[in-house]
Amino acid sequence: MAFTLPQLPYAPEALEPYIDAQTMQIHHGKHHQAYVDNLNKAIAGTEHENKSLEQLIASAGSISPAVRNNGGGHWNHSFFWQLLGPGGGAPPSGALLEAINSTFGSLDGLKEKVNAAGTTRFGSGWAWLIARDGKLEVSSTPNQDNPLMDVAEVKGKPILGIDVWEHAYYLKYQNRRPEYLGAIWNVINWAKVAENFNGAK
């Protein structure tokens, strides 16, 4: 069964002023759609065409570069849209906040670690908060790789992921990636992050 582009769970302008509507429209409707289309082409007529996205991701490195890049792009973006929301909602609390404080000292400590991972990722990629062996950890991946892949240097269950490809921020922030990383915390959907954290236990 062919993969399809998921709808955004909010209007493209809902994340203003931190992420502009034009960026969201292009990022979702053009970039993410291209990953979906190219993934479908890559698996059509092969032994992989009936596999789930999670199955493809888990062995992406041994299937093909096209599946690795486009399957990763589809999974990463589908995950990313859910992590954003207008106003960001309530800050983390409960077990998630306890784990953040235990690992990073504070929520600000977590933000600093994630921002550093995103800022120092050379070229395109992602910054991640993952659960690994029952603990939280920050990592980053190049291109459209993610911590679920067989090729990941640091494997784990993604809790939070931030896109640091230039197409995620260039129209508004140009080459100021650190400014984008600072702003995106204003629209993080912590309820979804907590849901991911609870699911990873």
Specify binding-site residues for Mn(2+): 27, 77, 163, 167
- Residues comprising the binding site? 27, 77, 163, 167
Chain Cα centroid distance, residue 60: 17
193/196 Cα distance (integer angstroms)? 5
DSSP secondary structure, the chain, as one string: ----PPPPSS-GGGGTTTS-HHHHHHIIIIIIHHHHHHHHHHHTTSTTTTS-HHHHHHTHHHH-HHHHHHHHHHHHHHHHHHTB-TT--SPP-HHHHHHHHHHHSSHHHHHHHHHHHHHHS-SSEEEEEEEETTEEEEEEEETT--TTSTT-SS--EEEEEEE-SGGGTHHHHTT-HHHHHHHHGGGB-HHHHHHHHHHH-
